[in-house]
Amino acid sequence: MERLTYLGVLVFIFFGSAWLEIALRTRVFRRWKRLLLALSVPVVVFVIWDIWAIASGHWAIDPDRTLGIRLFGILPVEELIFFLVVPIASILSLEAVRSVKGWPLGDEASR
């Protein structure tokens, strides 16, 4: 069960914010192309940085708390999931606040 610790935290983060999509109609997942565009650069940059940092010994991820699946033999798969889930949770939270406050996005259709 200990091996599921990191993944469990990520699942909690995801579902802790995913309900906003339905409850407040944030439409983050409906606009999936925009979401992928927003995620693409940070995910690539942070994955490269993380691989470098782990390979260089700057930091390490406790192997007892991960599934043991490593990308490129270095990066725990949970790290890649982290770089997807945390920004998605942030975007969902921002869109939820925007929805409640009525802040315009700027690309709404003119009425």
Average of per-residue pLDDT across 68-80: 95
Does the structure show a pLDDT above 70 at 53?
yes
Does the structure show a pLDDT above 60 at 111?
no
Lowest mean per-residue pLDDT among 30-34, 53-57, 95-99, 101-105:
101-105
Model pTM? 0.86
Percent of the chain with pLDDT over 70: 95
Contacts 24+ apart (CB under 8 A), 59-64: 61/6, 64/2, 64/3
Does the structure show a pLDDT above 70 at 109?
no
Give the number of other CB atoms < 10 A from CB of residue 6.
20
